[in-house]
């Protein structure tokens, strides 16, 4: 797991619409990177649905929400539409899991663990959380406790 206080590794990944998104583009804002295993699993669906419900409160606190998994951008688009969410979903697809590895979230199972990384306005890691296993997602309360 990446250490709090360290510079957040920059990246450029494709979003659900095939557009390139870079961490550098969020400079000046707080961004919560939500690493999750894969689209369409029941637990991932629940996690991103819960986060969508609290997204307005996160926005009020000046936090942008960005999901990252090893799925392709086409899968992200279908997943986003199925859930009815507008959260940006980034494809850590090829090389598979490169960004998750840089943040210490990648598992040898072939996907990222459920890891939250809050990057501050200056591009430093302000807070992290890693689930004990990929079957448990951190509730919204974990995020709000960190922001308090």
Taking the C-alpha atoms of residue 6 and residue 136, their distance in angstroms, rounded to an integer, is: 26
The answer to whether the beta carbons of residues 125 and 40 sit under 8 Å apart is no
Strand partners for 127: 118
Residue 44 annotated among the catalytic residues of the structure: yes
Cα 29 from Cα 83, distance rounded (Å): 26
Coil, strand or helix at 113: coil
Interatomic CA distance for residues 16 and 10, integer angstroms: 19
Q: Which of 8, 32, 44, 68 is catalytic?
A: 44
Question: Could you list the active site residues?
Answer: 44
């Amino acid at each position: 797991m990446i250490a709090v206080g360290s510079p957040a590794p920059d990246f450029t990944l494709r979003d659900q619409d095939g557009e390139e998104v870079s961490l550098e583009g969020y400079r000046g804002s707080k961004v919560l990177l939500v690493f999750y295993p894969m689209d369409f699993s029941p637990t991932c669906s629940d996690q991103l649905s819960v986060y969508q419900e609290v997204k307005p409160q996160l926005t009020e606190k000046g936090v942008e929400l960005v999901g990252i998994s090893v799925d392709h951008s086409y899968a992200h688009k279908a997943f986003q539409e199925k859930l009815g969410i507008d959260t940006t979903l980034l494809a850590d697809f090829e090389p598979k899991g490169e960004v998750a590895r840089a943040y210490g979230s990648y598992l040898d199972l072939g996907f990222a663990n459920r890891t939250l990384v809050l990057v501050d306005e200056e591009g430093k890691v302000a807070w992290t959380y890693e689930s004990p296993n990929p079957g448990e997602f951190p509730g919204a309360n974990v995020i709000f406790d960190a922001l308090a």
